[in-house]
Structure 1
Amino acid sequence: MSLQHDTQRKKGYKSTGRRRREDGIFIVRKNKRQDSLSKRRKLVRQDISSPLIDDSPPSTIYIPVRVRYVMQRLKHGLIPITFSDIIGKNHIGIGGGGAMDLNLQNHDVLVSQLQTIRTMTLTLLSDNPAAQLEAATQFGTLLSKGYIPLIDKVIRAGVVPRFVKFLTREDMPQLQFMAAWTLTNIAAGLSEHTRIVIDHGAVPLLVQLMSSSNDDIKEQTLWALGNIAGDSPSASDHVLNDGALLPLLSLLWNPSTTKKSIWNIAKWAFLNLCRGKSLPTLYEQIRPALPALRELLLMHDEEFVLYACQILSCITQNGSSEMVQAVVEANVCPRLVELLLFPTSKVIVPALQILGDIASGDDAQTQVLINSGALHCLKFLLTQSDKIILEETCLAISNITAGNSAQLQAVLDADLITPLVCLTKAEFNVRNEAVWAISNATHGTPEQIRSLACKGCIEALCDLLISTDPSILTVCLNGLRNILKAGEINKQKGLYNNRVNIYAQMVEECGGLDKIVSLQSYDNNDIYKKAVEVLEKYFPEDLEMVDEENHSSNVDGTLQQ
């Protein structure tokens, strides 16, 4: 992951921080300033602030063709469905407000429905199979409205154990289907409703039905398990621990033989199951299946490729370092690099995310990306107008520039720095990631630092010292400090005839020194300390100490420019 997520910056130093600055502040000595200092010319930077393309990054939830309505849920990932949707009719049966609509406009109808639950319950508990099926259908239709009061009433009627028992009725597939449908919509309620379904033992029976020869039952079972897994991490644990993963994978890894609607629901259920997971069980069961996932990546069907990217992205974002290494060992990186040139952004973005996650690992994992030809593709993506692609590309590069000197040299040789410098003028998120990539590169060798300076990195970092984001100010100051440190070493070695820190001169020429001086009044003590450290170490001859109180108005005016 990007380095900007490692700490939370402290705030609130206005009163205490200023009191610790008892020695005053630094200003630039007037007699050391030459009015005729030649300023470095700014690069002509292209406008990359164009709007996003119409196709937004893909959602991780997919709706089968036979279930065509927008999911609007109070909690993530739960999708109650109607019987008419399942059997393929056009009637949706849920109002425009979506499921779980608490605005009960037809109160009289609701009261009437509540009064009929008692009669339906007596019928459901009878020994007449036909009556049981009719009552189960009525319950399913009732609950498809998604109203919380109805779910509460059905649960209080004590019918959940009966529906769980119906899951075992192999002699009546229709009754099994209706039971799974009703439990799906109960689990689509609040977390307490989902817990009741779990506590009555429905999950292991639903897992068994995933292998049913009846496609309708199999499809409905996947809906139920997906709703349960999407409720909470603990609910997902129940589904995982009851053995749902392997039969789910058997459906997912064979998209050419699995019914498409079943495959789509299985995909959604799987994402709910492994979202946020790092359990050993998940790792142990997914790792043997990764080669099959690679085969999906190699397919020509865009939907299959997209699905495989989403699964891998879920694994690399949420999985352990061992899980990420397993993905690398599955030899998916070459194909992921190829997908960076895919025609549509909805495939490019998850592929980028996976590669960025892999690059956030150790140097060996990062090297796999470089060996797979990622740098050439990343350079191409830096020329795109899609802000999300640009942001993810810069993030991936920042993870590579944080690697060893050989990996940084590969970035320099691929000429990725020049477009990164241009992107420091881009939209906020893109600019921030570009700055991280440049700052991470300043840990390189003296020769690499010289290359960065020649490509305009000093000017780019100095330009952003007027940012109001303390994390970006910290990144810029860290990068400049590293560059100035390299310049000081060169100065001490006598590499320049006039024995000066040439990088310090460049900072001053592009206005960076004035901005660093102004940061002494920034309302963050960490920023203040970093600014003072740079001034004391690298600009001692250009500064003099003045009383802060007498000079504060001038400094504040500089900050507001």
Structure 2
Amino acid sequence: MTFSLKIGSPYTGIWERTQSRVFQLLSDVFLIATFMIDKLKALSSETMGGFYVEAQEFGIYQAIDWISREETSFRNRVNGVRRIRKIIEKGKADSVIRLGIVSRLAELLEKTKNDEIQGEIIWTLANIAAGPSRHTKLIMNKCTEIFLSILKATKSIEVKKNIILAFGNIAGDNAGFRDNLLNAGVMSHCLTLLSELNSLEAERNYLWLLSNLCRHKDPYPKFMQISECVPILKAYLDHSDEEILNTACWSFNYISHFERSAVLDKDTISKFVKLLSHQSKKIVASALVVCNNVASETVDEIQMLVDCGILKELPKLLYIKDVTILNRVFILISYITAKGITHIQSLVDNNILEDLINIFKENGDYKQEILYLIKNLICNGDENQINYALSIGCIDILFEGLIMSKEICVNLAIESFLNLIIEECNFDINIYVFKDIAKRLLDFQNNKNQDIGKLVRAYSKKFLY
């Protein structure tokens, strides 16, 4: 309906005033609405991480509607799940979870039999599980049984790969979540997937899941729940892919902390010794961790490493310019020197002690480690081995240790000299050198370590008075 008023009509003024008031009222309403919207945006920014803006930008409410309605078309349902996943990938998982998305997706996942929708939903849930523990726990509690049910029924490789990814994120979070998956039978179900892996990426994710199921301590996993995967992990030690090799090495590292027998057969140890000559420093460093775990126990275990040829690899490793590798090599040698005469002789026969002396002179970063090795040798070696060590320059290193700024280096040198004096063996040391040692040690008779100070006072005076 339209109104037309002639100019000069008595109603013209009334209409103009009414029109003006209506426009003013609408203007006021607009200003109030704008103000309220700004306030809501600010509030949303504080309480929902800015999700108010994101919800409009990405159409999250439309996506929720698409995945919730029974009559939604197949394509819209897929697009709805994808839209939710993209929002999560932009760091908005908290805001999405507050809207009850996980329960809706879990419900849809349980109902649908379509591979494409299943794959999209599981991918989305796996991304949520990759977040903080509270998100991971939510996925674990709501979806573990659903994932296992689908894993048994589906023939889709893509769906299975996404389930592997989700389980890997859950198991990797902490020991409690790992045990929940193991108790649910995830390990045995996943072992059946090995023959179905159709890409390098799938193999990487698969091995990563197995590794996470063996990972974490306090508590360690029960070996009976993971023992089935050990042969698979062992087979992967011969793989050509660096990432897979590294994951396999770390898996054995986890297991060797609580079930050493799983890696203590000669064939497996030989594989790790072989990896010490790998072209990748990352693989060498990872293999050294397992070798050190083996060497940290008994003389027999060190002998197994020696029999597998580890002493032939150590001289090459000493000259690799990599801090992590060198530190682990020194730890390994310290285990060998701490286990007695037989294995110290192996170091002598392979000229490793001479290499250590050269490194001490050339590289100031590892003097503490080498002083520790010399102390072990003097404490545990026989007369001939100690004389050999002194003849190639160890005594000069110990003298240098006495004047170092680090207290631990000084104490290592003092303890080494005290052991030489206390033993009273036929060392190839001139009596005047012994007297010089005794004089220098007297400077430390008031050492902070009272036991060291007491020994210094007792044995130094023996050579001086």
Q: TM-score, structure 1 length as denominator? A: 0.65
Query: Match for 2:395 among 434, 440, 458?
Result: 458
Indicate the larger mover: 390-399 or 118-127: 118-127
1:350 matched to which residue of 2? 286
Contact 2:441 2:460 in 1 (8 A): no
Alignment partner of 1:224 is 2:166? yes
Unaligned 5+ runs, structure 2: 1-45
Q: Give SS of 2:267's match.
A: coil
1:203 matched to which residue of 2? 144
Indicate the larger mover: 285-294 or 226-235: 285-294
Q: Give SS of 1:213's match.
A: coil
Equivalent-residue separation in structure 2 for 1:362 and 1:474 (angstroms): 27
Contact 1:477 1:531 in 2 (8 A): no
Structure with more contact order per residue of length (Cα contacts < 8 Å, sep ≥ 6) = 1
Equivalent-residue separation in structure 2 for 1:135 and 1:531 (angstroms): 75
Q: Which amino acid aligns with 2:64?
A: T
Rate the CA distance shift 1:339–1:231 in 2: closer, same or farther, 3 A: closer
Alignment partner of 1:188 is 2:130? yes
Rate the CA distance shift 1:417–1:369 in 2: closer, same or farther, 3 A: same
Report how many residues are paired.
415
2:305 matched to which residue of 1? 369
Question: Mapping of 1:409-558 within 5 angstroms?
Answer: 409-425=345-361, 427=363, 430-442=366-378, 443-486=380-423, 488=424, 490=425, 502=429, 505-506=432-433, 509=436, 516-519=441-444, 525-526=448-449, 529-542=451-464
Contact 1:387 1:430 in 2 (8 A): no
Q: State the structure with more CA Rg.
A: 2
- TM-aligned CA deviation for residue 513 of structure 1: 5.1
1:144 matched to which residue of 2? 89
Q: Which amino acid aligns with 1:136?
A: V
Equivalent-residue separation in structure 1 for 2:129 and 2:232 (angstroms): 31
2:54 matched to which residue of 1? 110
Q: Give SS of 1:166's match.
A: helix
Alignment partner of 1:125 is 2:61? no
Q: Which amino acid aligns with 1:110?
A: E
In the TM superposition, what whole-angstrom CA distance separates every residue of 1:30-64 from its partner, at most 9, and x where no partner exists? Answer: xxxxxxxxxxxxxxxxxxxxxxxxxxxxxxxxxxx
Equivalent-residue separation in structure 1 for 2:183 and 2:431 (angstroms): 60
- TM-aligned CA deviation for residue 521 of structure 1: 6.3
Contact 1:136 1:178 in 2 (8 A): yes
Rate the CA distance shift 1:108–1:287 in 2: closer, same or farther, 3 A: closer
- TM-aligned CA deviation for residue 394 of structure 1: 1.7
In the TM superposition, what whole-angstrom CA distance separates every residue of 1:372-406 from its partner, at most 9, and x where no partner exists? Answer: 12112112322333333322222111111111322
Contact 1:420 1:438 in 2 (8 A): no
- TM-aligned CA deviation for residue 516 of structure 1: 3.8
Q: Which amino acid aligns with 2:323?
A: K
Equivalent-residue separation in structure 2 for 1:169 and 1:217 (angstroms): 15
1:72 matched to which residue of 2? none
In the TM superposition, what whole-angstrom CA distance separates every residue of 1:392-431 from its partner, at most 9, and x where no partner exists? Answer: 2221111111113222222222222111222234556533
- TM-aligned CA deviation for residue 184 of structure 1: 1.9
Q: CA RMSD in A?
A: 3.3
Contact 2:62 2:80 in 1 (8 A): no
Rate the CA distance shift 1:276–1:125 in 2: closer, same or farther, 3 A: same
In the TM superposition, what whole-angstrom CA distance separates every residue of 1:281-315 from its partner, at most 9, and x where no partner exists? Answer: 45224434433433332345555544433332343
- TM-aligned CA deviation for residue 108 of structure 1: 7.1
- TM-aligned CA deviation for residue 348 of structure 1: 1.8
Rate the CA distance shift 1:105–1:292 in 2: closer, same or farther, 3 A: closer
1:234 matched to which residue of 2? 176
Q: Give SS of 1:341's match.
A: coil
- TM-aligned CA deviation for residue 327 of structure 1: 0.2
Q: Give SS of 1:328's match.
A: coil
Equivalent-residue separation in structure 1 for 2:327 and 2:318 (angstroms): 9
Contact 2:418 2:459 in 1 (8 A): no
Equivalent-residue separation in structure 2 for 1:222 and 1:310 (angstroms): 19
Equivalent-residue separation in structure 2 for 1:288 and 1:330 (angstroms): 19
Contact 1:251 1:263 in 2 (8 A): no
Question: Mapping of 1:13-412 within 5 angstroms?
Answer: 109-110=53-54, 112-113=56-57, 116-128=59-71, 130=74, 131-147=76-92, 151-169=93-111, 171-200=113-142, 202-210=143-151, 212-251=154-193, 258-277=198-217, 281-299=221-239, 304-316=244-256, 319-320=257-258, 323-329=259-265, 331-412=267-348
Rate the CA distance shift 1:466–1:325 in 2: closer, same or farther, 3 A: farther
Contact 1:187 1:197 in 2 (8 A): yes
Rate the CA distance shift 1:246–1:145 in 2: closer, same or farther, 3 A: same
Equivalent-residue separation in structure 2 for 1:230 and 1:169 (angstroms): 28
Q: Give SS of 2:107's match.
A: helix
Equivalent-residue separation in structure 2 for 1:122 and 1:348 (angstroms): 53
Equivalent-residue separation in structure 1 for 2:385 and 2:325 (angstroms): 27
Equivalent-residue separation in structure 2 for 1:439 and 1:160 (angstroms): 60
Q: Which amino acid aligns with 1:227?
A: N
Indicate the larger mover: 370-379 or 437-446: 437-446
Rate the CA distance shift 1:330–1:368 in 2: closer, same or farther, 3 A: closer
Contact 1:462 1:476 in 2 (8 A): yes
Rate the CA distance shift 1:415–1:353 in 2: closer, same or farther, 3 A: same
Normalized per residue, which structure has more helix?
A: 2
Contact 2:439 2:464 in 1 (8 A): no
Equivalent-residue separation in structure 2 for 1:514 and 1:190 (angstroms): 61
Unaligned 5+ runs, structure 1: 1-101, 544-561
Equivalent-residue separation in structure 1 for 2:460 and 2:211 (angstroms): 52
